[in-house]
A and B are shown apart, each in its own frame.
Chain A
Amino acid sequence: MAFAPADEQELSQVVAAAAAEARPLRITGSGSKAGIGRPSIGEELSLRALSGVVLYEPEELVLIAGAATPIAGIEALLASHNQHLAFEPMDCGPLLGAGAGQGTVGGLVAVNASGPRRIKAGAARDHVLGFRCVTGRGEIVKSGGRVMKNVTGYDLSKLVAGSFGTLAALTQITLKTLPAPETSQTLVLLGTEEQAGLLALRKVSGAPLEASALALLPKGAAPLDLGENAAAIRLEGPEISVAQRLEDLRGLLKPFGGGVEILGGESSASLWRALRDAEPVASLDGHIWRVSVAPSDGFALVSALKESALPLLGYFYDWAGGLVWLCMADAEDAHAKPLRAAVDRLGGHATLIRASATTRAAVDVFHPQPPALAALSRRVKESFDPAHILERGRLRAEF
């Protein structure tokens, strides 16, 4: 069976009925991110009817939309008012081969999407002002409001963002919108050693330059190979301020040697869009991992993988080295054990982003949680969805 309730009321009836019989449900917006996470089991519960912008008040920096509203449409609407979603949500389409521009705002919150600007602006979690949802009990819940401050009770937004639909079916989301920067320029430091390039990025991140993105594209990152290691630093804001900071940045980078080139306008935008959507690894044939580590450990991780026998096909760094995208030649277990061992030694998290459904069912897609945290997750899950019907198996095999 597949359900496509017409409104929140109907949705709550569908969920309550399923909960009574402990029938699992698989929530979809457009289905663009179905390839992430463990394959969940259950009848399809499509929220596609809950689509459309309910309210947009640019002066108040707030937008309310049904959960299945396409992000592309929202971004276009914001752009027409010179605003944007500052957390720069990644479009997973190209990576997962599902076609680009299909994601919905509910999916964006469910995976806690973010992009290169995360180092400055945070992730979806930090921009969700409130939401409405139907919990796994079938109850309609409203959380948060239209302003960032939320003094009453818990901030449930922080909980549902990144929950992959395991806690509740989101029906409506209130997002904070922000003015888009007036100009955006990218300085690219070319031809240094990889480690030096990453050191430069960390130095920039520690300096008062307010860089809004710091990534390193290594030489040979086919097909987006720029021919040499390229450390890219994005500065945004009013024109005068960007120009001033660019000068300061040049000074700061002098000791690193290497060439310096500036990309403006469209070139800068397309570079960051490509990095945001993980293009340098997306077109390679293989399993794709997204690893979070401390920025100072990114290089150590890649070096360890290179020294090991793991078949690393390509990689690049975002977030000044704190996020490493990896592509490894296909293997039934996606090389999860040795990779996680390398990541654990540094204290990070590895998520398997692209692999066949069989592989995603066989290995831990998300980094295993330490026992205390796992117990906490379980208690949270049970308070929202005691019958374990929402996205069963999506995050972890046991619920």
Chain B
Amino acid sequence: METHFSLAALADPDVAQSEKILRACVHCGFCTATCPTFLLTGDELDSPRGRIYLIKDMLENERPADARIARHLDRCLSCLSCMTTCPSSVHYMHLVDHARAHVEKSFARPLGDRLMRGLLALVLARPALFRLSLRGAGLARGLSGLLPGRLRGLVAMAPRTLPEPSTVDRPQVFPAQGARKMRVALLNGCAQTVLDTRINEATVRLLTRLGAEVVVAQGAGCCGALAHHLGKASQSHAFARKNIEAWTREIEAGGLDHIVINTSGCGTSVKDYGFMFRGDAQLAEKAARISAMARDVSEIVAALDFRSTGNAAPLRIAYHSACSLQHGQKITQEPLSLLKAAGFETLSVPEGHICCGSAGSYNLLQPEIATQLRDRKLANIESLAPQVIAAGNLGCMVQIGSGTGIPVVHTVELLDWASGGPKPEALTAAAGA
């Protein structure tokens, strides 16, 4: 695409980067066909190509964002389906991230929206607050008070009873069973430590059983992705910086082979730290090193010689491929092969490339589109009559689980079960019901 940026504008490295991305786009429109929002609204401005035009126009003319641009960019799920489709390798993710930060800086949203987005970034990234906001029942000051109107979607999202905080999520070291094959740091995602503590517990059991020493590093926490997607760059950078520093200390102290992430949304963001800090003289190198070490948990399990002990029942499993895994990190095969190796029957979901609508905090900010996408996803899943739905991302699990009675579990819970761990609680509960 031809661009006309002023030299002055191009002096800004973010703008220069975006210009490069814009130039790569050849307007072919292949991406529109696989974009979930275009599928629903049929409006070109709700497609990747349309958004690219809007962004180009805004950045090129150095214009502040307006309500129209904000609306169409807000509707983008950041599912990155368009990046998988694009024949020309347009890096839509970095483009839309930059555009969102520009919107956040240059456009005054209605005050209620600003407050809600601020509180959302605050609440979701802080386990203690998040726990409180979800602990509605019985407490007048629970969620109904903490969150403004639309955010009460959090309630619908919350499980009926919240688990107690897990001891697994405190900083510590879990030694490997048998000979130590590698030493990894586990990112204990923020919302996950509140909503579903079993995922980290299963991950630690599985990895240590397979011979990895697992470190929960002091000072590491939220990956920053939620704030990042809200366009709150300084906040997301602060979170990322803390993680980079915490893991770097760990690398220097005890050595690390990998950083393991079991929430793929967070994984995509940690793998992008190197890019985020590319212009930061102090952190660029460390950030790039962390990104290079980041792995989805399925990549690590695959590398660790996973073996089934025949422990698990051979259930029919619909594997939902989270966008952040399949489009963001291009991981499609590992989870499926592992589930097969574990003795499960895996079913492939029709329209598997389309987002379930969870997308970080998207389901709270754009509930209408999110619900349509969830129902479409569920219709596709239920057509297979599976016994279990598996996914590698908590956001998807909560979103999909909010509309179906079929139990939804994390891939690692199934792998842990198949190799000697306990049966996932969601399955026990479903069988008992």
Give the chain B neighbours of A271 by CB distance below 8 A: 115
Query: Does chain A have a CB within 8 A of B146?
Result: yes
Interface centre among B121, B126, B129, B144 (most CB of A within 10 A): B129
Interface centre among B108, B111, B121, B129 (most CB of A within 10 A): B111
**Contacts of A75-115 to chain B: CB distance below 8 A:** 75-76, 78-80, 91, 93-94, 97-101
Give the chain B neighbours of A80 by CB distance below 8 A: 140
Give the chain B neighbours of A226 by CB distance below 8 A: 111, 114-115, 118
Closest residue to A221 on the B side, CB-wise?
B118
CB atoms of A100 and B122 under 8 A apart: no
Q: Assuming A76-B140, A101-B141, A222-B235, is B126 touching A94 (CB within 8 A)?
A: yes
In whole angstroms, what is the CA distance A100 to B130 when docked?
9
Interface of A, helix, strand, loop or mixed by DSSP: mixed
In whole angstroms, what is the CA distance A273 to B151 when docked?
15
Give the chain B neighbours of A265 by CB distance below 8 A: 149
CB atoms of A223 and B141 under 8 A apart: no
Q: Assuming A99-B128, A265-B149, A266-B149, is B139 touching A72 (CB within 8 A)?
A: yes
CB atoms of A283 and B122 under 8 A apart: yes
Closest residue to B120 on the A side, CB-wise?
A223
> Which of A79, A223, A228, A230 sits near B227, CB closer than 8 Å?
A223
Give the chain B neighbours of A236 by CB distance below 8 A: none
Within the complex, the shortest CB–CB distance from A257 to chain B, in Å, comes to 16
Query: Does chain B have a CB within 8 A of A342?
Result: no
In whole angstroms, what is the CA distance A368 to B101 when docked?
46
Give the chain B neighbours of A305 by CB distance below 8 A: none
Give the chain A neighbours of B140 by CB distance below 8 A: 75-76, 78-80
Within the complex, the shortest CB–CB distance from A320 to chain B, in Å, comes to 20
Per-residue CB proximity of A51-83 to B under 8 Å, as 1/0?
000000000000000000000110110111000
In whole angstroms, what is the CA distance A91 to B126 when docked?
15
Closest residue to A77 on the B side, CB-wise?
B140
Within the complex, the shortest CB–CB distance from A46 to chain B, in Å, comes to 20
CB atoms of A97 and B138 under 8 A apart: no
Give the chain A neighbours of B234 by CB distance below 8 A: 222
CB atoms of A274 and B141 under 8 A apart: no
Q: Assuming A225-B118, A283-B126, is B111 touching A270 (CB within 8 A)?
A: no
Query: Does chain B have a CB within 8 A of A10?
Result: no
| Residues of B in contact, count (CB < 8 Å) | 33
Query: Does chain A have a CB within 8 A of B148?
Result: yes
Within the complex, the shortest CB–CB distance from A222 to chain B, in Å, comes to 6
Q: Assuming A100-B132, A190-B111, is B148 touching A270 (CB within 8 A)?
A: yes
In whole angstroms, what is the CA distance A73 to B139 when docked?
7
Within the complex, the shortest CB–CB distance from A80 to chain B, in Å, comes to 7
Give the chain A neighbours of B432 by CB distance below 8 A: none
CB atoms of A266 and B139 under 8 A apart: no
Give the chain B neighbours of A78 by CB distance below 8 A: 140
In whole angstroms, what is the CA distance A261 to B122 when docked?
22
Interface centre among A93, A101, A266 (most CB of B within 10 A): A266
Per-residue CB proximity of B94-122 to A under 8 Å, as 1/0?
00000000000000101110111011011
In whole angstroms, what is the CA distance A234 to B152 when docked?
22
Give the chain B neighbours of A93 by CB distance below 8 A: 128, 132
In whole angstroms, what is the CA distance A50 to B141 when docked?
23
Closest residue to A269 on the B side, CB-wise?
B145
Query: Does chain B have a CB within 8 A of A209?
Result: no
Within the complex, the shortest CB–CB distance from B15 to chain A, in Å, comes to 21
CB atoms of A263 and B115 under 8 A apart: yes
CB atoms of B131 and A273 under 8 A apart: no
In whole angstroms, what is the CA distance A106 to B119 when docked?
30
Query: Does chain A have a CB within 8 A of B198?
Result: no
CB atoms of B114 and A227 under 8 A apart: yes
Q: Assuming A226-B111, A274-B122, is B149 touching A267 (CB within 8 A)?
A: yes
Give the chain A neighbours of B139 by CB distance below 8 A: 72-73, 75-76, 101
> Which of A73, A76, A99, A279 sits near B122, CB closer than 8 Å?
A279
**Contacts of A307-324 to chain B: CB distance below 8 A:** none
> Which of A79, A222, A267 sits near B115, CB closer than 8 Å?
A267
**Contacts of A230-245 to chain B: CB distance below 8 A:** 230
Query: Does chain B have a CB within 8 A of A188?
Result: yes
CB atoms of B114 and A267 under 8 A apart: no
**Contacts of B214-270 to chain A: CB distance below 8 A:** 227, 232, 234-235
Per-residue CB proximity of A352-387 to B under 8 Å, as 1/0?
000000000000000000000000000000000000
Query: Does chain B have a CB within 8 A of A224?
Result: yes
In whole angstroms, what is the CA distance A273 to B145 when docked?
8
Closest residue to A262 on the B side, CB-wise?
B111
Interface centre among A190, A223, A228, A265 (most CB of B within 10 A): A223
Closest residue to B127 on the A side, CB-wise?
A99
Query: Does chain A have a CB within 8 A of B147?
Result: yes
Query: Does chain A have a CB within 8 A of B410?
Result: no
CB atoms of B122 and A270 under 8 A apart: no
In whole angstroms, what is the CA distance A73 to B142 when docked?
11
In whole angstroms, what is the CA distance A222 to B144 when docked?
24
Closest residue to A99 on the B side, CB-wise?
B128
CB atoms of A101 and B132 under 8 A apart: yes
Query: Does chain A have a CB within 8 A of B51?
Result: no
CB atoms of B232 and A76 under 8 A apart: no
Give the chain B neighbours of A224 by CB distance below 8 A: 115, 118-119, 122
Q: Assuming A101-B132, A227-B108, A261-B110, is B115 touching A270 (CB within 8 A)?
A: yes
Closest residue to A84 on the B side, CB-wise?
B140
Query: Does chain A have a CB within 8 A of B49?
Result: no
In whole angstroms, what is the CA distance A224 to B121 when docked?
8
In whole angstroms, what is the CA distance A7 to B129 when docked?
33
Give the chain A neighbours of B205 by CB distance below 8 A: none
Q: Assuming A223-B118, A223-B121, is B235 touching A263 (CB within 8 A)?
A: no
In whole angstroms, what is the CA distance A283 to B110 when docked?
24
CB atoms of B141 and A76 under 8 A apart: yes
In whole angstroms, what is the CA distance A226 to B116 when docked?
10
Give the chain B neighbours of A98 by CB distance below 8 A: 128
Query: Does chain A have a CB within 8 A of B91?
Result: no
CB atoms of B147 and A270 under 8 A apart: yes
CB atoms of A266 and B147 under 8 A apart: yes
7 closest Cβ pairs, A-B complex: A79-B140, A100-B132, A76-B140, A261-B111, A267-B148, A99-B128, A266-B148
Sample of 4 further A-B pairs with CB below 8 A, known A76-B138, A223-B118, A274-B119: A94-B126, A227-B114, A267-B148, A283-B126
Q: Which residues of B contact A (CB under 8 A)?
A: 108, 110-112, 114-116, 118-119, 121-122, 125-126, 128-129, 131-132, 135, 138-141, 144-149, 152, 227, 232, 234-235
A–B Cβ pairs within 8 angstroms, 18 of them: A75-B140, A76-B141, A91-B141, A93-B132, A100-B132, A101-B139, A101-B141, A222-B232, A224-B119, A224-B122, A228-B108, A266-B145, A266-B147, A267-B115, A270-B145, A270-B148, A273-B145, A283-B122
Q: Which residues of A contact B (CB under 8 A)?
A: 72-73, 75-76, 78-80, 91, 93-94, 97-101, 188, 190, 222-228, 230, 261, 263, 265-267, 269-271, 273-274, 279, 283
